[in-house]
Structure 1
Amino acid sequence: MGCSQKNGGIKNMIEIEGRMNPALIESPNGGWYVVAGGAWIPVPEGTRLSDINWVNNPQKSPALGASSYTKEVKGSKGDTYTVEVWSDGRTACNCMGFLYRRKCKHALALKGKV
């Protein structure tokens, strides 16, 4: 995730990397920020989306050839979740916590971290 000023013709463009389309946000204290799925990066007041050059940085998928295994894990409320663990250490789970935060106790338990 990063931000830099680039000369893109007549005016400077603000470049931001992220996995989501950028958004401009005015904070309650009056500061302006651009966000693309990560850190809030301060920008000058009056910045428009047309001043932003977005570099799409999607989440990396598992490396080709990385082996994986899948296991059913029982959740604390009795639900069953499917957790996949790749040989390179990445995990995936179909629970809402993982879908929202990209980590969950089910995947961590399978990796031996809980």
Structure 2
Amino acid sequence: MTVQEALDRFKAEAREVETVYYIYVLAKDEKLVGVISLREVLLAEKDCILADLMETNLKTVAPGEDEMIVAERISKYNLLALPVVDEEGYMHGVITVDDVIDMLLPPAAKKKRRKV
């Protein structure tokens, strides 16, 4: 798929997504094979192939992973989002840095944050 094809598809489906930091690339069998930041996609030439731009050394977590492991991985690799991928390679969703902050902050801090 080219960058232009990815952008067209993204525009058609993005209304269903709350937050977008990365575009996750799935193979025909629906397994996760790569990731590319939305910034990189927007700056790339429209005829570039995503497979040439994407990162294949994926940082992921398994479904049901301990919350602290998720937080540590997001922090360690300075990620804005982390895909949840099962042992067969199927993507189940994404955990964002916002999710981690909500998980780590005590309820009182969450209320204070909302007032700011």
Alignment TM-score, normalising by the size of structure 2: 0.27
More strand by share: 1
Larger Rg computed on CA atoms:
1
Q: For CA contacts below 8 A with separation 6 or more, give which structure has more relative contact order.
A: 2
Give the TM-score of the pair, scaled to structure 1.
0.27
Indicate the structure with greater helix content. 2
